[in-house]
Amino acid sequence: MITAGIDMGSKYIKVVILKDGTVLGRAMETTGFEPVESASRCLDKAIKEAGVEMSEIDHTTSTGAGRKVAPKTDSDITDVGAAAKGVVNLEKNIQTVIDIGAEEGRGIKIEADGKVVDFAVNEKCAAGAGAFAEAMSRALEVSIDEFGQLSLKSDKAIPMNAQCAVFAESEVVSLVHAKTPKHDIARAVHDAIASRIVSMVRRVGINESVALIGGVSHNPGFVDSLKRALETEVIIPENPDYIGALGAAITASERTK
Amino acid sequence: MKANYGYMDGSGEFYITIDTDLCIECADHGCVKACPAGMFEIIVDDYDDEVAAIKEDHRKKIKYDCGPCKPVNDRPTLPCVAGCTLGALTHSW
Amino acid sequence: MTEKTKEFWRWKEYNWHDEAKDPKDVETISAGVDVGSVSSQAVILLDGELYAYSNMRTGSDSPNSAINAMNWAMENTGLTMDDLHYTVGTGYGRVNVPFSDRAITEIACHARGGNTMYGPTVRTILDMGGQDCKVILCDERGKVKNFLMNDKCAAGTGRGMEVFADLLAVSIEEVGELSLDVEEEPPPVSSTCVVFAKSEASSLLRDGWSKKRVLAAYCSAMAHRVVSLLERVGVEKDFAITGGIAKNSGVVVRLERELKLTSLKSKYDTQIAGALGAALFAKALVEKQRKKVAQ
Ligand code: SF4
Ligand code: SF4
């Protein structure tokens, strides 16, 4: 049985092609202004990589913000449901999933079979998501990759007062004027997001085995701050960007049974 | 006076309302003792009355600071609301 | 920050005094200074009557901003700090006013100032400042009954508007008029968050929207947001708007349309409400003090 999972994110579209539990192909495209076209392109790319034909796909499930408009789809599943399914498929023991993208963050509590028990969401405010770090790296005039690395060099915790991305930008500018080293500013920024994320996740309860997924998992500075704030290890499953698409593809295979 | 502390941002409205007219009559200041996050203080306001207020450094993050009292599932009565015997406190979320 | 940006978001600074009045033959000279995060105002009253005021951008430290604002209000009046009988500091930097006799919150000062500026019928005062937004309900004596403040989020503040003025390279003073110069009202920008609204605006521009149309969409989003704040406390008539954004017709017109209420106009500058209230408190406090001494 061959299935496809499409994750229609607000910034990127991801597709996973699955055959009997094994990933055959995956692809990513920027969402852009024509999400449906981007998704079709992304699907074609993944199918090509998997070496299969569109007609061989038994079921396609989509997830993500734009899941209702996804092309060639048979069913859909929420972001939270897909994330949980995808994570337990790779890491059996996970009980808490933290999913942070550019525009929103989520804390999800799951059972062993990937069933969602509870979840809390932070959305529509850039201060609680990856966009906060991006805006601050722009204010510091470094790339987001560099920003993440810089943070690891700091051993100082400076508190940030502003709780808003716009006001925090001015705070960063005045820290620069006060000759605060860039790496300490980077850490202050990551610590600030991490503390907001952890407070949110506490509302569902935090267990020993925590997984981090979503775009922000590529930022080593943030991961470091998150571990400190959680006071526990954080597991990042392989290909963390594709977890939603993987979860959708798994759901698709369950639905064809 | 009704004092609303907190904020509204893209993600929602988060306000704690204190009816300070009731505070004036209050003797035991239960809110201060009840809150595990230590968010309340007793101040002398602009009209020289002794009333409860949310501390300045909590006002911009009450959504996060109150998180532990507000689990997603089975939310119990909030300690501050239970602690205030005069019923002066309400939360908007 | 580039030079270019600075030019776009600067408010005008000014001072004024009433040449017909003479500070020499009065009983009480009281003053108020409102040190906000973006701008600072000073007001001087002669026996409770408005005599002089100033409005300028807040510098990097509050004590100096307070001194500068007060000195500027006193320019060409012949007054010096020593002539002020009582001074109240208010605003975000109120505890750092070196020459003040007492600090009072901006909420109480706005209510009191609004009561004089708009008359005792005013019940709801909306203050939209550079970095915050306040809603105050007050009684006929200018005493606060209910208030709500929003200083966490840039949406609905002058700062949020500046981000937009910057993005579109228009001066902040022109935003209102430009936004009203559209044939048809566009749907409001859908994101509240300034960061997300900015990306939304960029894509609208790429879609071929005119600057005016984007500004209209943002002003109406801002008006809508402020209305939801007002609804939390419940608007009572009469209604007045103070602060920097009161000068932005694009937001005010849309706000009034949504509320189905017109705001009271005042002959005073809307930005001095807080400092005026502080000066009125100062007058009452010095009189109370004198009475005590006399007893
Ligand atoms: S909900 Fe909890 S943390 Fe929040 S104010 Fe009440 S007692 Fe304090
Ligand atoms: S403007 Fe600031 S506080 Fe408001 S929603 Fe955006 S990031 Fe959050």
pLDDT digits (tens, 9 = 90+) for B16-46: 999 999 999 898 899 999 999 999 999 999 9
pLDDT at C292: 87
N-to-C CA span, chain C = 58
Shortest Cα distance, chain B CAs vs residue A131, angstroms:
13
- Taking 90 as the threshold, does the pLDDT of residue C12 lie above it? no
Give the domain ranges of chain C.
Answer: 14-113+272-294, 120-263
Give me the residue from B10, B11, B67 closest to A203, CB to CB. B67
| Superfamily (CATH H level) for C14-113+272-294 | ATPase, nucleotide binding domain (3.30.420.40)
- Which residues of chain C have a CB within 8 Å of the CB of B3? 146-147
pLDDT at C4: 39
Report which protein residue has its CA nearest ligand 1's atom 3. B66
Element (H, E) at A105: strand A104-110
- Which residues of chain B have a CB within 8 Å of the CB of A204? 71-72
Distance from C-alpha of C41 to C-alpha of C39, rounded to nearest angstrom = 7
Instruction: For residue A224, say if its preceding peptide bond is cis, omega within 30 degrees of 0.
Output: no
Band the pLDDT of C186: cuts 50, 70, 90: very high
Judgement on whether residues A106 and A226 belong to the same structural domain of the protein: yes
Q: Determine the average pLDDT of the residues in A79-88.
A: 95
Judgement on whether residues A200 and A257 belong to the same structural domain of the protein: no
> Do C14-113+272-294 and C120-263 agree at the fold level?
yes
Percent of chain C clearing pLDDT 70 (strictly above): 96
ipTM given for this complex: 0.90
| Superfamily (CATH H level) for C120-263 | ATPase, nucleotide binding domain (3.30.420.40)
Q: Determine the average pLDDT of the residues in C40-60.
A: 93
pLDDT at C3: 38
Q: Determine the average pLDDT of the residues in C162-166.
A: 91
CA distances from A188 to A111, A162, C151 (A): 34, 11, 21
pLDDT digits (tens, 9 = 90+) for A123-142: 899 999 999 999 999 999 99
Distance from C-alpha of C231 to C-alpha of C246, rounded to nearest angstrom = 18
Distance from C-alpha of B25 to C-alpha of C264, rounded to nearest angstrom = 36
pLDDT digits (tens, 9 = 90+) for C123-147: 999 998 888 999 999 999 999 999 9
Q: Taking all residues of chain B, what is their mean pLDDT, rounded to a whole number?
A: 94
Question: Tell me, what CATH number does A156's domain have?
Answer: 3.30.420.40
- Which residues of chain A have a CB within 8 Å of the CB of B68? 199, 202-203
Band the pLDDT of C61: cuts 50, 70, 90: confident
pLDDT at A208: 80
Distance from C-alpha of B71 to C-alpha of B73, rounded to nearest angstrom = 5
Residue A253 lies in domain: 1-91+241-257
Give me the residue from A125, A163, A202 closest to B67, CB to CB. A202
pLDDT at C35: 94
pLDDT at C11: 59
pLDDT at C1: 36
pLDDT at A96: 95
- Which residues of chain B have a CB within 8 Å of the CB of A103? none
pLDDT digits (tens, 9 = 90+) for C279-294: 999 999 999 999 988 8
pLDDT at C243: 81
Tell me the whole-structure pTM to 2 decimals. 0.88
B41 lines ligand 1 (CB under 6 A): no
B59 contacts chain A (CB < 8 A): no
Which of C150, C152, C192, C196 should we substitute to test contact with A (largest number of A Cβ atoms within 10 Å)? C196
Residue in A121, A135, A112, A124 with CA at minimum distance from that of residue A192: A135
Q: Determine the average pLDDT of the residues in B12-17.
A: 96
Question: Tell me, what CATH number does B61's domain have?
Answer: 3.30.70
Inter-chain residue contact C150 with B10, CB threshold 8 Å? no
For chains B and C, CB pairs below 8 A equal 60
Three-state helix/strand/coil letters over chain C: CCHHHHHHHCCCCEEEECCCCCHHHCCCEEEEEEECCCEEEEEEEECCEEEEEEEEECCCCHHHHHHHHHHHHCCCCCCCHHHCCEEEEECCCHHHCCCCCEECCHHHHHHHHHHHHHCCCCCEEEEECCCCEEEEEECCCCCEEEEEEECCCCCCCHHHHHHHHHHCCCCHHHHHHHHHCCCCCCCCCCCCCHHHHHHHHHHHHHCCCCHHHHHHHHHHHHHHHHHHHHHHHCCCCCEEEECHHHHCHHHHHHHHHHHCCCCECCCCCHHHHHHHHHHHHHHHHHHHHHHHHHC
Judgement on whether residues A183 and A116 belong to the same structural domain of the protein: yes
A164 lines ligand 2 (CB under 6 A): yes
Buried b (16+ CB within 10 A) or exposed e, B52-79: bbbeeebbbbbbbbbbebeebeeeeebb
pLDDT at C5: 40
Distance from C-alpha of B67 to C-alpha of A118, rounded to nearest angstrom = 14
Distance from C-alpha of A144 to C-alpha of A193, rounded to nearest angstrom = 15
- Taking 60 as the threshold, does the pLDDT of residue C6 lie above it? no
CA of B58 to the centre of ligand 2 (A): 17
Judgement on whether residues A225 and A105 belong to the same structural domain of the protein: yes
Inter-chain residue contact C152 with A163, CB threshold 8 Å? yes
Band the pLDDT of C8: cuts 50, 70, 90: very low
- Which residues of chain A have a CB within 8 Å of the CB of C192? 124
- The C-alpha angle with vertex C267 and arms to C266 and C273, in degrees rounded to 5, equals 60
What is the number of structural domains in chain B? 1
pLDDT at C7: 40
Q: Determine the average pLDDT of the residues in A142-147.
A: 95
**C-alpha A94 chain-centroid distance:** 16
Q: Quick one: C61 exposed, middle or buried, by C-beta within 10 A (0-12, 13-18, 19+)?
A: exposed
Which of A203, A206, A207 should we substitute to test contact with B (largest number of B Cβ atoms within 10 Å)? A203
Judgement on whether residues A119 and A58 belong to the same structural domain of the protein: no
- Taking 50 as the threshold, does the pLDDT of residue C26 lie above it? yes
Give me the residue from A131, A163, A173 closest to C195, CB to CB. A131
What is the number of structural domains in chain A? 2
Q: Which range has the worst mean pLDDT, B47-56, B70-79, C176-185?
A: B70-79
Judgement on whether residues A190 and A98 belong to the same structural domain of the protein: yes
Give me the residue from B1, B9, B46 closest to C145, CB to CB. B1
pLDDT digits (tens, 9 = 90+) for A61-72: 999 989 999 999
CA of A127 to the centre of ligand 2 (A): 6
B19 lines ligand 1 (CB under 6 A): no
Cβ distance A221 to B88 under 8 Å? no
Inter-chain residue contact B8 with C149, CB threshold 8 Å? no
Q: Which range has the worst mean pLDDT, A66-70, A147-151, C52-56, C266-270?
A: C266-270
Q: Which of B4, B65, B90, when mutated, tests ligand 1's pocket best, judged by the most ligand atoms within 8 Å of its CB?
A: B65
pLDDT digits (tens, 9 = 90+) for C236-268: 999 999 887 888 999 999 999 999 999 998 888
Which of C61, C157, C195, C199 should we substitute to test contact with A (largest number of A Cβ atoms within 10 Å)? C195
What torsion, rounded to 10 degrees, do the Cα atoms A192, A198, A200, A206 define?
180
Band the pLDDT of A95: cuts 50, 70, 90: very high
Distance from C-alpha of A8 to C-alpha of A20, rounded to nearest angstrom = 23
Judgement on whether residues A124 and A74 belong to the same structural domain of the protein: no
- Which residues of chain A have a CB within 8 Å of the CB of C154? 164-167
Judgement on whether residues A207 and A131 belong to the same structural domain of the protein: yes
- Taking 70 as the threshold, does the pLDDT of residue A186 lie above it? yes
Distance from C-alpha of C50 to C-alpha of C19, rounded to nearest angstrom = 11
More confident residue, A257 or C190: C190
Give me the residue from B2, B7, B15 closest to C145, CB to CB. B2
- Taking 90 as the threshold, does the pLDDT of residue A160 lie above it? yes
Inter-chain residue contact A202 with B70, CB threshold 8 Å? no
